[in-house]
Structure 1
């Protein structure tokens, strides 16, 4: 990608086939989660607070229950397990406020069937459901709801001898082939500590939703409740109903509010935040799935096992090439960053990688006829970076976004960095080549947009300031000219009355963008 400098100016009925309406990202995401919901169940882990020495869960008698009732300030959990230790059997119950250890009771039994009978009775008392019919679980008012998890209910990391990853002693683990900076990046974006930190920042209770274990079905149920909340918000006198549905949502997706009363979800802004939260959860689940697949592949190998970090990198199907700081492209990116950074959250570039996703080039080539290409910023939560590298930037459920439901980009670093959620002051930003084609300009919010107007390829919400167009340069990427801002933001008199301070660039087709660069940045707020 050798840059070429040049000055640039701103520039289903009656048996008949019917055309299906395109699904929005919210619906598509929910359906994708449901479709992938059948997961193999792994061996369950004994509750960490259980006092039985060397015990394990007997068969599959293990459940996590949750109940939130905003009106009564209830936000509580109930754990029920049958524990086997040598030839002894117990039922273990632990209950209390979400986020606290709570109370517990351990009851011994002479035979396993007696422990199972006690387990099933407690489950029926707490949920009004039979254990044998839990596949068709029905939530009842005033009762606990079953939280569906996949495999071990364990939020901790398996630690052995190779970078905290399980490895057989007899295996010959090969040295990592990646350079030091890329090794560090891969470890970060697959880090369990980072994922847990991200979940805790969203008030999620990681003890009820262990990493990678909350089922896709459970996440999809969360989307369903948000749809019910949106419908209730459009009805008059729905305050009581919103409180009831908010309780249902927090029961379905456990949150840790401490001793504070769980809040009512009663605005579109909060609904959008919760949709985003579920998408982050889904992306964490994807990253954890990739990780577990590489671990399983390693376990099946006997000799010359690739290094765990190499395995994680390979699972992304994305080539990351570290840019030398002496290259012209690095200097262009550095100038773009510094010129458009704000006084608050000014980033320090640590490293830059050229990105080449395995299948993205072919998809992007669908837009070869579109001119007017720009290298634009996209900031994100570090917890979703692995999922983005694996799956690309996707249309997120921004139904409440200022410019509708599309992929958002910016020409100023200071705009996109506001969406960066770092881990220990380290964040990630992307620079994407965006095929804008013919732009449709707006200066007022339009939440309803789901595609560019007829005859246009993109929407630009023009800000009252924009990087100085006279400082723009044009580089050549794979034979296409791409504009890159290099100047500081200056006032745009023609858009002085715009409701947008900084410009936002929107595309409504995922194929119109291609990840080109990933920046590891240091942020000191």
Structure 2
């Protein structure tokens, strides 16, 4: 019987944008640089790219308490006067200070109001409003408060210099995106349960969404502000209560720069005072919510690496947010169509009767240990520009379909930009892109959205990628210093004490080439019985050796 067809999520008439140069492995940071040199170059590139943009302003969206104070119920319609709005922050780990200070000036009913809100990060805090009949008086009050709190003049904020025992100005991205309500009007059944179609219209009367319903609600989730807020809260970043808007890429770059300084201070055995000052600087630049407990001292390599991981996740969230901002559509479209198109990635929903779907379910059953894991959907992925980049590997035949787990917060960024070797990447097998032959291994890295979304609870995502392994260097000892495959090799495999039974291997054919899929149950590997690794980890050190093939959505 012929396999059932895939359902393509590509609205007609959409013109695709060419992939960016970052897709090309030859463009980017040199592999010979040290990790921190690579990271510093990335930070400099970010800062240089935004020199022409306005700096140091908060979102022009009115603070929710300000709005409420003006009318008693909110929805005042008041707007920020010119650009007079800012978010300030100050952290001192020694004295247990971790506080914010927000200042906004708005015009409402022919009066000018200067609003301030202050308190501990993560809490609502206190607030006050001063009213003026003339704009000049209100501006004078705003700028006076800014100078009192920061030691800087408002008119010189583009060259802001942090002062001891004063607040620091945060660069915030505009927070002008809104969740779009959708209404399900009708439902009809298709051949397979994964192809249920629903006619979806925008609550604002825009054209119906052209995506399959299952694809539409997934796009809605991976761009959801509630999801991002939930993920940030897990990282102690309370963006809902803390500031208006979101940390900009410049602010993220500044935070990473301080982490590099901290890392080097730890290596050089600097004293506690130096580490405390740098820790305070980091938490000032990137506000964290610790409740009433003292902010922790970042005084060892492991906690600093964890914070680097947080910052990279934040940068992916910033990327996802930025995808939604550049809209210039001559014809109105449904918001989910716009978000989908911003991914520059074609998703095809697989029916449960498709041959590839059956292989994937066998792969899960053979290599998982989680009995509560439930597969919801599978999409085939065709990322813009990835096919052409992948052709450089045509002469290499050894390939496997391997797992990669990730946080739901970075799924959109990966679909848009691919799996990347980040400047700070590192682990037990060095700085590369990590994969696994066992579902249970990668599942440990798949951070879920805990809660209910579109009627589904605790949803997460995993990728299956075609990985060009070529000739693999096998290791059994942890070696975090590896930056590239050894001479004469194309990849590194940290051999586990168990591996899916190779006798059960099957294949999937992509572009006329067979790719191995290790669907068997893991069995002991006698040659690797003394390995440091319980399960195998597969590493490649060139991004062009990876092609995303499937996106899996699941619940737990």
Same-fold status (TM-score > 0.5) = yes
Shift, 1:167, TM fit = 8.2
Check 1:29–1:20 CA distance in 2 against 1; reply closer, same or farther (3 A cut): closer
1:513 equivalent among 546, 549, 556: 546
Alignment match, 1:33:
46
Distance 1:473 1:86 in 2: 71
Question: Residue 188 of structure 1 aligns with which residue?
Answer: 221
In the alignment, which residue of structure 1 is the partner of 2:178?
157
Of 482, 487, 498 in structure 2, the residue corresponding to residue 465 of structure 1 is 498
Confirm or deny: 8 A CA contact 1:211 1:285 kept in the other structure: no
1:313 is matched with which residue?
A: 340
1:257 aligns with 2:284: no
CA offsets 1:352-376 (integer angstroms, 9 cap, x no match) = 1111112100011111112210000
SS in 1 for 2:364: helix
Equivalent in 391, 395, 402 of residue 376 of structure 1 = 402
- Tell me which moved more, 208-217 or 468-477: 208-217
Residue 322 of structure 1 aligns with which residue? 349
Secondary structure of 1:498's match? coil
2:232 and 2:407 mapped to 1: Cα distance?
A: 11
Give the 5 Å matches for 1:284-363: 284-293=317-326, 296-298=327-329, 300-301=330-331, 305-343=332-370, 346-363=372-389
Match of 1:95 among 106, 110, 118: 118
Q: Deviations over 1:64-122 (max 9, x none)?
A: 10001010111000111222212212322211111112122222223221221122121
Of residues 97, 107, 111 in structure 2, which corresponds to 1:84?
Answer: 107
> Is the 1:160–1:167 Cα contact (8 Å) retained in structure 2?
yes
8 Å CA contact 1:399–1:448 kept in 2: the answer is no
Deviations 1:195-227 (A, max 9, x none): 111111111120477687421111110111111
1:20–1:497: structure 2 CA closer, same or farther, 3 Å change rule? closer
Q: SS where residue 490 of structure 1 aligns?
A: strand
Inter-CA distance 257–291: structure 2 relative to 1 (3 Å threshold): same
After superposition, where does 1:327-476 map in structure 2 within 5 Å? 327-343=354-370, 346-423=372-449, 424=451, 425-476=458-509
Q: Give unmatched runs, 5+ long, in structure 1.
A: 4-18
Q: Distance between the aligned counterparts of 2:87 and 2:536, measured in 1? A: 46
Q: What is the CA–CA distance in structure 1 between the aligned matches of 2:339 and 2:182, rounded to whole Å? A: 17
* Matched residue SS, 1:427: strand
Partner in structure 2 of residue 139 of structure 1:
162
Change (3 A) 1:62 1:379: same
Q: Matches of 1:233 and 1:318 in 2, distance apart?
A: 42
After superposition, the Cα gap between the structure-2 partners of 1:507 and 1:161, relative to the gap in structure 1 and judged at 3 Å, is closer
Shift of the 167–336 alpha-carbon distance from structure 1 to 2, 3 Å rule, reads closer
**Cα displacement (A) at 1:185:** 1.2
| Aligned CA-pair RMSD | 2.6
By how many angstroms is 1:174 displaced? 2.5
Aligned counterparts of 1:361 and 1:489: Cα–Cα separation in 2: 32
Decide which moves more: 36-45 or 135-144: 36-45
Cα distance in 1, alignment partners of residues 122 and 464 from structure 2: 39
CA contact (8 A) 1:428 1:521 kept: yes
- Higher mean Cα deviation, 70-79 or 318-327? 318-327
Find the counterpart in structure 2 of residue 52 from structure 1: 70
- Rounded to whole Å, the distance in 1 between the matches of 2:487 and 2:421 is 19
Unaligned runs of 5+ in 2: 4-28, 185-199, 452-457
Q: Distance in 1 between matches of 2:224 and 2:30?
A: 41
Separation in structure 2 between the aligned mates of residue 436 and residue 20 of structure 1, nearest angstrom:
22
- In structure 1, the residue matched to 2:271 is 238
Give the deviation of 1:282 after TM superposition: 1.3
2:208 match = 175
* SS of corresponding position for 1:351: strand
Deviation at 1:52, TM superposition (A): 2.1
